[in-house]
Structure 1
Amino acid sequence: MSASDARDQVYVAEVELLLTEELRSFSAADIRIGRIGVQAMQVDHISVDDGDDVYLIKIMYDLLAEESTPPLRSATLGIEFHTPDVRVRDAWPRLVTAPCPAERLAVTERLEFVRHTPDARGLLVDHVPVPELTPEIRVSSPGGAEIRWQHTATVRPGAHSGWLIVMAPGDCREIEARVSGNHSLERTLGMHARGKPDTVTIRLPRQRPETDGLRYRIGFTVDIVDYSSRPSDQQLVAQRRILALLKRFSQHTGVDVEPTYFQATGDGFNCFLPDIDAVAAVRHLVRTMPHLLDEDNLEYADQIRLRMAIDVGPVEPSDLGFAGPTVIRFCRMVNSEPVRQAMGGADTTMAIVVSDTLYDDIVRQHRDLSELSFTRHDVAVKTYQATAYLLSHTS
């Protein structure tokens, strides 16, 4: 993927790769040869150690080169944490010298990554899925406030991922980080290869107090159609695109999705909205979300199509996701036969199914929603049986 192919991609941090005439400052005369775009930082709280909180951070980034740029001999992504007393305990990948198949990692109580085995004991996390890796990748500086992944030999442009185990003070709610990049070319035309750094603020998920308890919220699930038929590199890009879609949804609507109420599912996600106006929430989900998907698909040859189910009810964050019947109901609805049949049409980009409760209480009561082309269906998946209302969106 070239830098021009992803010119409209939304990044949380972006390092410009430049050729400059001097090392003292950047100027308009610098030649841009590519960039390192950090697409997302997925943060999960996993433990408390000696009073500090421990987080598992997944960093997804793109190495992008402008067209006609000489091949990169190396490219390095650096993450330096500026918030006091934040430090990296371990990082993955550490050293890749030969092609590695996709694997499953675990995080031990000693706060280090290990390859998962069926007989593993004493783990904080036992399922960190890592895609296949291509050499050569080396990590440096774990144990302090900085980490660097260096790609050498043949630098593969496109999507990459890295994982960190990070410790932060218990009262820390966000981390400031400096994202940097270094690179070298086969030919530099007598100029200096430099990276122009960027900064990012990483919000840390709040530990759920014991008093949080059960909440009554609108929740939804999103599932990518034909995800498993895509090659692994396209699966990674598709995941990043729907994460970016949720981010744009939040920016467009002003609805701040809490990390505690978000759960990635690999080919989609489950999400519960905060306590907001219910009519506005449903309106944005059934009207705004499909249009944001259309805008995203205009930028890619790979057209993403989505199934989405929406319900309202009790939910409580748990160690493995969510507790309560609501998440079970909307996950059953999204996999129902009427939704799958709706996606059989080649021009259908999104099938949205709404529970009968939401339809009766919200959709039916407001003209702009009731005039949409919802159709009534009886859905039955495993032991779940209910009435639901389906809306198909075409591009």
Structure 2
Amino acid sequence: MYVAEVELLLTEELRSFSAADIRIGRIGVQAMQVDHISVDDGNDIYLIKIMYDLLAEDSTPPLRSATLGIAFHTPDVRIRDAWPRLVTMPCPPERLAVTERLEFVRHTSDAHGLLVDHVPVPKLTPEVRVSSPGGVDIRWQHTATVRPGAHNGWLIVMAPTGCHEIEVRVTGDHTPERTLGMHARGKPDTMTIRLPHRRSESDGLRYRIGFTVDIVDYSSRPSDQQRIAQQRLLALLQRFTQHTGVAVEPGYFQATGDGFNSFLPDIDAVTAMRHLVCTMPHLLGEDNLQHADQIKLRMAIDVGPVEPSELGFAGPTVIRFCRMANSEPAREAMGEPDTTMAIVVSDTLYDDIVRQHGDLSELPFTRHDVVVKTYQATAYLLSHKS
């Protein structure tokens, strides 16, 4: 059995994402999205969106049935409700709500007593049904016409307050057409999901290396490709943490739609810079080898004060590296057809870290004057090519 530890990148109040990158046969779990929505009698309540794929393969017949199973093995963790429950005919996009009784309901304008009033659900195709919607496990069963591609499932999960992580077991099986009812079942995966913690009064201003990542030409992609690009970027970050051992702490990650902002923990700055300017582009190249849609990234790195806040971060550092990523030198570099990643480094990090260490100083950085809105500074650009 393969055991994967999946870091949930969470802030205290806001949505967080987890790149799972699990494949069991022709069922793939790509990512999870988690919201902490309430506290109830010694328990924290979470809304979890599971993003999974039913995979089509050219050399095999289409699927006649497929089942994704999710089970929680941590004591006192319970599933209160799941969606979709039963889909017997095509359903248009709709809006769900979560009630104080911890149940999913279709949203109405006169609804009262809601914990969450806007859970957007895309159109659903038959036939999908759920089994064991309460307790510790859940199974979504696709039968009749199994549509290959992306699917979503939602859970309302209750965990004891103070629980920092939960163990999740993922199972899957499927039946291809023309197989006389035989089931193909893959080996289950077990992963540990880290849950958010509440910031204490001792948390405050920190001095850290931070960076932003943007997907180039994100808005030109159709919505389904945008979703896949987001999943790939999150999976890239997950592989980065696994490869380097540099975990992103709760409260120091902010999703931006076409990318993310993040601050590293208190680690060796030289090692951090080596990983950001060398390991990240290498992992991007490995990802692009597996996909026709070639993702290109702009990244900017700076160091300075930061404090987690209600909508992300407070402090000047996040503003500076976002300005650098949107600068003309970074955009011009991505205009080169063979450039896959443009990395902009602040003059402080370049002078204090890059210039002082031989392997980093030998990289082909170029000096630029960056002017974006009221921001003006010197920065250094490194372009990675395919």
TM-score, length of structure 2 as denominator length:
0.84
User: One-letter code of the match for 1:15?
Assistant: I
Does the CA-based 8 Å contact 2:175-2:181 persist in structure 1?
Answer: no
SS of equivalent residue, structure 2 residue 52? strand
Does the CA-based 8 Å contact 2:334-2:340 persist in structure 1?
Answer: yes
User: One-letter code of the match for 2:208?
Assistant: R
Aligned to 1:392: 383
- Change in 2 beyond 3 A, CA 1:116/1:69: same
Separation in structure 1 between the aligned mates of residue 48 and residue 82 of structure 2, nearest angstrom: 9
Q: In structure 1, which of residues 225, 230, 233 is the aligned counterpart of residue 224 of structure 2?
A: 233
- 1:309-330 CA-to-partner distances (Å, cap 9, x unmatched) read 1111222222322222222222
Structure 1: any 5+ residue segments left out of the alignment? 1-9, 17-34
Separation in structure 2 between the aligned mates of residue 361 and residue 132 of structure 1, nearest angstrom: 52
Separation in structure 2 between the aligned mates of residue 324 and residue 126 of structure 1, nearest angstrom: 32
Aligned to 2:198: 207
Q: How does 1:100-115 map to 2 (within 5 A)?
A: 100-101=92-93, 111-113=102-104
SS of equivalent residue, structure 2 residue 320? helix
- Change in 2 beyond 3 A, CA 1:111/1:192: closer
User: One-letter code of the match for 2:268?
Assistant: D
Does the CA-based 8 Å contact 1:13-1:199 persist in structure 2?
Answer: no
Structure 1 residue 61, shift from structure 2 partner = 1.9
Structure 1 residue 124, shift from structure 2 partner = 5.4
Does the CA-based 8 Å contact 2:174-2:183 persist in structure 1?
Answer: no
Separation in structure 2 between the aligned mates of residue 177 and residue 350 of structure 1, nearest angstrom: 35
- Change in 2 beyond 3 A, CA 1:124/1:344: farther
Q: In structure 1, which of residues 257, 266, 269 is the aligned counterpart of residue 248 of structure 2?
A: 257
Task: Compare 343-352 and 227-236 and name the one that shifted more.
Answer: 227-236
Separation in structure 2 between the aligned mates of residue 115 and residue 328 of structure 1, nearest angstrom: 39
Aligned to 1:321: 312
Separation in structure 2 between the aligned mates of residue 93 and residue 321 of structure 1, nearest angstrom: 31
Structure 1 residue 280, shift from structure 2 partner = 1.0
- Provide the aligned length of Structure 1 versus Structure 2: 367
Aligned to 2:179: 188
Aligned to 2:90: 98
- Change in 2 beyond 3 A, CA 1:210/1:268: same
Tell me: higher relative CO, structure 1 or 2? Use CA pairs within 8 A at least 6 residues apart: 2
Aligned to 2:149: 158
Does the CA-based 8 Å contact 2:21-2:235 persist in structure 1?
Answer: no
Structure 1 residue 113, shift from structure 2 partner = 4.9
- Change in 2 beyond 3 A, CA 1:217/1:135: farther
Structure 1 residue 79, shift from structure 2 partner = 0.7
- Change in 2 beyond 3 A, CA 1:162/1:368: same
Aligned to 2:349: 358
User: One-letter code of the match for 2:62?
Assistant: P
- 1:184-238 CA-to-partner distances (Å, cap 9, x unmatched) read 4442236455454332222222332222122211111111111122223322221
Separation in structure 2 between the aligned mates of residue 289 and residue 200 of structure 1, nearest angstrom: 23
SS of equivalent residue, structure 1 residue 187? coil
Separation in structure 2 between the aligned mates of residue 44 and residue 365 of structure 1, nearest angstrom: 43
Separation in structure 2 between the aligned mates of residue 365 and residue 376 of structure 1, nearest angstrom: 16
Structure 1 residue 265, shift from structure 2 partner = 1.9
Q: Does 1:149 align with 2:140?
A: yes
Q: How does 1:167-182 map to 2 (within 5 A)?
A: 167-182=158-173
- Change in 2 beyond 3 A, CA 1:12/1:298: closer
SS of equivalent residue, structure 2 residue 251? helix
Structure 1 residue 84, shift from structure 2 partner = 1.5
SS of equivalent residue, structure 1 residue 274? coil
Does the CA-based 8 Å contact 2:345-2:379 persist in structure 1?
Answer: yes
Task: Compare 368-377 and 272-281 and name the one that shifted more.
Answer: 368-377
Aligned to 1:296: 287
Aligned to 2:40: 49
Q: In structure 2, which of residues 232, 237, 249 is the aligned counterpart of residue 246 of structure 1?
A: 237
Separation in structure 2 between the aligned mates of residue 41 and residue 247 of structure 1, nearest angstrom: 12
- Change in 2 beyond 3 A, CA 1:106/1:370: farther
- Change in 2 beyond 3 A, CA 1:75/1:46: same
Separation in structure 2 between the aligned mates of residue 123 and residue 378 of structure 1, nearest angstrom: 51
Aligned to 2:257: 266
- Change in 2 beyond 3 A, CA 1:288/1:193: closer
SS of equivalent residue, structure 2 residue 45? strand
- 1:102-150 CA-to-partner distances (Å, cap 9, x unmatched) read x666656554556778998876567656555444433343342222222
Aligned to 1:15: 24
Q: Does 1:85 align with 2:76?
A: yes
Task: Compare 157-166 and 107-116 and name the one that shifted more.
Answer: 107-116
Over the aligned positions, Cα root-mean-square deviation in angstroms equals: 2.8
- Change in 2 beyond 3 A, CA 1:90/1:266: farther
Aligned to 1:372: 363
Task: Compare 115-124 and 305-314 and name the one that shifted more.
Answer: 115-124
Q: In structure 1, which of residues 265, 282, 304 is the aligned counterpart of residue 273 of structure 2?
A: 282
Separation in structure 1 between the aligned mates of residue 264 and residue 333 of structure 2, nearest angstrom: 26
Does the CA-based 8 Å contact 2:71-2:170 persist in structure 1?
Answer: yes
- Change in 2 beyond 3 A, CA 1:196/1:262: same
- Change in 2 beyond 3 A, CA 1:387/1:269: same
- 1:27-80 CA-to-partner distances (Å, cap 9, x unmatched) read xxxxxxxx2122233434343221112223232222224444332222121111
SS of equivalent residue, structure 1 residue 393? strand
SS of equivalent residue, structure 1 residue 243? helix
User: One-letter code of the match for 2:374?
Assistant: T
Does the CA-based 8 Å contact 1:81-1:177 persist in structure 2?
Answer: yes
Structure 1 residue 335, shift from structure 2 partner = 1.6
TM-score, length of structure 1 as denominator length:
0.82
User: One-letter code of the match for 2:24?
Assistant: V
- Change in 2 beyond 3 A, CA 1:202/1:392: same
